[in-house]
Amino acid sequence: MPDTRRDVDPRAFIGVGVSFMGAGVALAAALSDSSGPAVGIALFAIGVVFFASGLARRRKLESAGKRSGDDDRPPA
């Protein structure tokens, strides 16, 4: 069976995180009058986790690319 691993794009994690944060804010505002904004706060927290994970993965990929010799500076 061939290896079908694909590299994950960190921008997807950032986008999903922003979406969850937006949904959390909307639900917290909508449910503030009733039982409480606990669901909205939980969705916002999940969004923060996805956003931080995407930023960390992007930073890791950028630092790995700079170490591999792909430097934009002209040779000395």
pLDDT given at position 44: 93
Residues 39-72 pLDDT 10s: 889 999 999 999 999 999 999 888 887 655 555 6
Cβ neighbours of 26 (radius 10 Å)? 13
The model carries a pTM of: 0.72
Higher pLDDT, 33 or 24: 24
pLDDT tens by residue, 1-29: 566 767 778 889 999 999 999 999 998 88
- Are 42 and 21 contacting, i.e. CB atoms less than 8 angstroms apart? no
65 token code pair: 């690319």
